[in-house]
Structure 1
Amino acid sequence: MRDQPTMRIPLGILGLLAALLAYGIAVATFLPPLIGNWPTLLQTVVYVLLGLIWLLPLRRFLIWMETGRWG
């Protein structure tokens, strides 16, 4: 447990929000022209998968916010 507060947590939260905003804008901008004519169920599967993909690097990022190490 930390004794002193660090700037990693507020900066990490701001970085996470910025990255999620950029990811969301990229998905909303570039994906509809590619899959807009697909069946609705298939589009739903693609959007659900893309909605979960951003979680993959989150564990290491949260570890870095708490400890300062990536592993």
Structure 2
Amino acid sequence: MSKNTKKNSNLPLKLYKNLIDVMAKANKTYHKIIEENKRLGIPTPFSLQGNIYYLMPDSRIVLKKRNGSK
């Protein structure tokens, strides 16, 4: 077992529980933003594997092409 793995396993359980709470709040907020953007007719940008996509209000996903891309 490496030093980093061993060191990380000694982190307090409370830290992991707090992280789960923060992630849940962030996820809830993200979904609220998507719904509000849909209601307002605004595309929601997101990134996946270095590409920028837009979730359109009609639920289509559109890829933003980079400059110089075909």
TMscore range, shorter length: 0.3 to 0.5
TM-score under structure 1 length normalisation: 0.43
RCO (CA 8 Å, sep 6+): is it higher in 1 or 2? Answer: 1
State the structure with more CA Rg.
Answer: 2
